[in-house]
């Protein structure tokens, strides 16, 4: 089990220094039944469509792409996570094919037409406005379940 | 990710997330979290392993069935890492041994020969996968090495892409070149592990020598902007060293 105290010194100290956001309250949305779930993926990998403006190093914005967009690029500020897996298979970070298979098998209701990415190196408190925009778009598509995937 | 969960739940959307740093999930305590004992950068575990990926998705979505929360569960399957490092880490001596401006013209010629030698393999890998991750910088593959190496002779390189600052272009160009090599190696040479790909690229290629030379240049520079390359770990993966 790799917990922070098992990690090398430089990384451990940096991760320990990360200031945790102080949220008010604990919002809890009641999930729908599995068969009714329409699932969108939100990645923090800094993914975008080819040609989109790269994420800035303190980005608060987001990028959207359709479920069929496979030829994505990544502009995350960090290089210290594995990038070789997603090079070999997009589903290692954005599992739209797997979700489609699960929808076809009846494990979930449906897969969103649109998925999203943030660049996950920003103070989480800065994301509120962008999440509001993304949530509005999701609701317009009938999405009720969000699968959050970090890198 | 934990922060995003908070805001999505506030908007009335149910969330579930996977995470790599358990202590951060404990501190923020979003409604539903699945902790993965796996390398960072691959939240669904293993490339080209649909059943393994679905196992993680099923477990994450399964947390939505909990009647109350917050819920933090440990995923039972493990993808081992080396010495607590959550991805490939560059040995520090590779940086200390790098020469800061080792004859840029010769280095460029060597990289260009290497890039040309990999081209057929890269094209085959792209054809096989139907996609490539190379291209974040917007530069053509042949433009990457000249742009990167130009930084070894001048700290005032202009960005070739409107609206993208020079240092960001340098970072993206380094990542594109790195991806060009590793996509080729994993696609046609059968080297698929992150440790093996990292060892090969950083220790054995001319392209890595240019990136390491930039790292040394940044360490020694009094230019604040250039020093960001080292201080923010922008081009060389030393965070886990």
Task: Tell me the per-residue pLDDT of A116-139, one tens digit each, with 9 for 90 and over.
Answer: 999 988 888 889 999 999 999 999
Tell which wins on pLDDT, B113 or B238: B113
Q: Which of B2, B10, B190 to mutate to test the interface with A (most CBs of A within 10 A)?
A: B10
Residue B83 has pLDDT above 90, yes or no: no
Contacts of A75 (CB under 8 A, 6+ apart): A46, A48, A54, A55, A119, B136, B172
Weakest mean pLDDT among A11-20, B14-23, B177-186: A11-20
Assess whether B6 and B36 both reside in one domain.
yes
Closest by CA position to B28, among listed A37, A41, A4, A27: A27
If DSSP states are collapsed to H, E and C, what string results for B105-160? HHHHHHHHHHHHHHHHHHHHHHHHHCCCCCCCCCCCHHHHHHHHHHCCCCCCCCCC
Assess whether B60 and B117 both reside in one domain.
no
CB-based contact, A9 to chain B, within 8 Å: no
The pLDDT-based confidence of B238 (bands split at 50, 70, 90) is confident
Q: How many domains does chain B have?
A: 2
Q: Record the pTM.
A: 0.95
What pLDDT, on a 0 to 100 scale, did the predictor assign at position A76?
A: 96
Assess whether B39 and B104 both reside in one domain.
no
Interface predicted TM-score (ipTM) of this complex, two decimals:
0.95
Assess whether B106 and B220 both reside in one domain.
yes
Q: Do B41 and A81 touch (CB under 8 A)?
A: yes
What pLDDT, on a 0 to 100 scale, did the predictor assign at position A1?
A: 66
Residue A83 has pLDDT above 80, yes or no: yes
Q: Which of B17, B47, B195 to mutate to test the interface with A (most CBs of A within 10 A)?
A: B47
Closest by CA position to A42, among listed B13, B115, B128, B197: B13
What pLDDT, on a 0 to 100 scale, did the predictor assign at position B156?
A: 86
The pLDDT-based confidence of B68 (bands split at 50, 70, 90) is very high
Q: Cα distance from A64 to chain B (closest Cα, Å)?
A: 15
Task: Tell me the per-residue pLDDT of B48-65, one tens digit each, with 9 for 90 and over.
Answer: 999 999 999 999 999 999
Q: Is residue B157 part of a domain?
A: yes
* In contact, B170 and B236? CB cutoff 8 Å: no
Assess whether B130 and B98 both reside in one domain.
yes
Beta pairing partners, B74? B35
CB-based contact, A1 to chain B, within 8 Å: yes
Q: Is residue B83 part of a domain?
A: no
Q: Distance between CA B134 and CA B178 in Å, rounded? A: 9
Task: Tell me the per-residue pLDDT of A13-31, one tens digit each, with 9 for 90 and over.
Answer: 878 888 888 788 889 999 9
What pLDDT, on a 0 to 100 scale, did the predictor assign at position B100?
A: 59
Q: To which residue do tokens 């990999």 refer? A: B118
Closest by CA position to B182, among listed B225, B138, B129: B129
Assess whether B170 and B204 both reside in one domain.
yes
Closest by CA position to B86, among listed B208, B241, B201: B241
The phi, psi pair for B141, rounded to 5°, reads: -55, -40
Q: Distance between CA B136 and CA A52 in Å, rounded? A: 9
What pLDDT, on a 0 to 100 scale, did the predictor assign at position B101?
A: 62
Q: Distance between CA A72 and CA B179 in Å, rounded? A: 13
Q: Cα distance from A13 to chain B (closest Cα, Å)?
A: 10
Q: Is residue B86 part of a domain?
A: no
Mean pLDDT of chain A: 94
Report the residue from B6, B65, B133 with minimal CB separation from A27: B6
C-alpha pair distances (Å), B153 with each of B104, B149, B150, B223 = 7, 8, 6, 14
The pLDDT-based confidence of A9 (bands split at 50, 70, 90) is confident
Q: How many CB pairs under 8 A join A and B?
A: 279
CA B78 to chain centre: 21
Collect all residues of chain B within an 8 Å Cβ-Cβ radius of residue A120.
1
Q: Cα distance from B214 to chain A (closest Cα, Å)?
A: 15
Residues 47 through 106 of chain A touching chain B, CB cutoff 8 Å: 50-51, 53-54, 56-57, 70-75, 77-93, 95, 97-99, 101-102
- Domain carrying residue B62: 2-78
Assess whether B180 and B117 both reside in one domain.
yes
The pLDDT-based confidence of B210 (bands split at 50, 70, 90) is very high
Report the residue from B50, B87, B135 with minimal CB separation from A81: B87
Assess whether B67 and B150 both reside in one domain.
no
Q: Distance between CA B91 and CA B120 in Å, rounded? A: 30
Mean pLDDT of chain B: 93
Task: Tell me the per-residue pLDDT of B84-121, one tens digit each, with 9 for 90 and over.
Answer: 888 888 887 888 777 756 689 999 999 999 999 999 99
Q: Do B18 and A148 touch (CB under 8 A)?
A: yes
Q: Is residue B239 part of a domain?
A: no
Residue B127 has pLDDT above 90, yes or no: yes
- Residue at which a domain ends, from B55, B78, B101: B78
CB-based contact, B220 to chain A, within 8 Å: no
Q: Is residue B30 part of a domain?
A: yes
The pLDDT-based confidence of B72 (bands split at 50, 70, 90) is very high
What pLDDT, on a 0 to 100 scale, did the predictor assign at position A21?
A: 80
Q: Do A71 and B15 touch (CB under 8 A)?
A: no
What pLDDT, on a 0 to 100 scale, did the predictor assign at position B16?
A: 98
């Amino acid at each position: 089990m790799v917990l922070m105290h098992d990690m090398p010194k430089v990384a451990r100290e940096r991760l320990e220094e990360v200031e945790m956001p102080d949220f008010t309250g604990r919002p809890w949305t009641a999930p729908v039944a599995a068969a009714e779930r329409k699932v969108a993926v939100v990645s923090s990998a800094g993914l975008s469509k080819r040609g989109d403006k790269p994420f800035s190093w303190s980005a608060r914005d987001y990028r959207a792409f359709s479920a069929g967009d496979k030829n994505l690029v990544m502009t995350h500020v960090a290089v210290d996570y594995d990038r070789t897996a997603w090079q070999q298979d997009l589903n290692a970070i954005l599992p739209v094919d797997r979700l489609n298979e699960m929808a076809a098998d009846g494990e979930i209701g449906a897969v969103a037409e649109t998925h999203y990415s943030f660049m996950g190196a920003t103070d989480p408190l800065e994301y509120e406005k962008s999440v509001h925009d993304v949530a509005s778009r999701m609701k317009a598509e009938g999405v009720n379940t969000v699968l959050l995937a970090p890198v | 990710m934990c922060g995003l969960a908070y805001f999505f739940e506030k908007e009335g959307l149910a969330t579930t997330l996977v995470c790599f740093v358990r202590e951060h999930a404990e501190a923020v305590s979003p409604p539903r979290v699945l902790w993965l004992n796996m390398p960072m950068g691959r939240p669904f575990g293993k490339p080209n392993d649909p059943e393994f990926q679905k196992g993680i998705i099923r477990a994450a979505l399964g947390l939505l069935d909990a009647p109350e929360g917050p819920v933090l569960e440990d995923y039972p399957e493990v993808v081992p890492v080396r010495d607590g490092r959550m991805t490939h880490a560059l040995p520090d001596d590779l940086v200390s041994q790098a020469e800061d401006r080792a004859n840029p013209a010769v280095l460029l010629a060597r990289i260009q020969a290497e890039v040309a030698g990999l081209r057929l393999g890269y094209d085959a890998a792209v054809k096989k996968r139907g996609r490539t991750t190379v291209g974040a910088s917007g530069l053509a593959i042949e433009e990457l090495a000249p742009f990167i190496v130009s930084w070894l002779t001048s700290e005032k390189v202009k960005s070739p892409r409107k609206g993208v600052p020079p240092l960001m272009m340098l970072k993206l160009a380094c990542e594109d070149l790195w991806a060009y090599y590793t996509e080729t190696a994993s696609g046609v040479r059968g080297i698929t592990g992150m440790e093996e790909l990292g060892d090969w690229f950083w220790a054995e290629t001319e392209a890595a020598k240019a990136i390491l030379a930039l790292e040394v240049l940044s360490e020694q520079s009094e230019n604040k902007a250039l020093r960001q390359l080292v201080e923010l770990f922008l081009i060389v993966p030393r965070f886990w060293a």
